[in-house]
């Protein structure tokens, strides 16, 4: 009985891991194909369209974690970068 429960938990975790791996590959493929940049809003909107079934909001950050693009929410640009160079463009 306990062995079956342990095996069930293992199988459940394996399925979740496999699904997360599949999701990561799908999103990575879409991003690599689209090649968005924080300065190219058209590419960000194109990416938003392709990611509709995976995400409702996204943005790009630099290597230090600072946001470098506007927020894209459900395919719309929502500029929340009040003090950045992006807000003046």
What is the model's pLDDT at position 14?
Answer: 92
Q: Report strand pairing: 71-73 vs 57-58.
A: antiparallel
- Among the listed residues 46, 39, 43, 47, the one whose alpha carbon sits nearest the alpha carbon of residue 67: 39
Confidence grade of residue 18 (pLDDT, cut at 50, 70, 90): very high
Q: What is the pLDDT of residue 85?
A: 43
Q: Residue 1 — very low, low, confident or very high, per pLDDT cuts 50/70/90?
A: low
For residues 81 and 67, the answer to whether their CB atoms sit within 8 Å is yes
**Could you tell me the CA-to-CA distances from 86 to 20, 70, 71, 78 in Å, in that order?**
33, 7, 11, 12
- N-term to C-term CA, the chain: 64
Note the pTM of the prediction, 2 decimals. 0.65
Range 46-61 average pLDDT: 88
- Confidence (pLDDT) at 2: 57
């Amino acid at each position: 009985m306990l062995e079956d429960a342990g095996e069930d938990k293992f199988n459940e975790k394996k399925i979740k891991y496999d699904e997360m791996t599949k999701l990561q590959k799908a999103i990575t493929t879409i991003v690599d194909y689209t090649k968005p940049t924080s300065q190219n809003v058209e590419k960000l909107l194109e990416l938003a369209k392709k990611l509709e079934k995976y995400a409702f909001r996204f943005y790009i950050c630099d290597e230090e974690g600072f946001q470098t693009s506007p927020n894209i929410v459900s395919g719309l640009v929502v500029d929340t970068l009040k003090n950045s160079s992006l807000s003046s463009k």
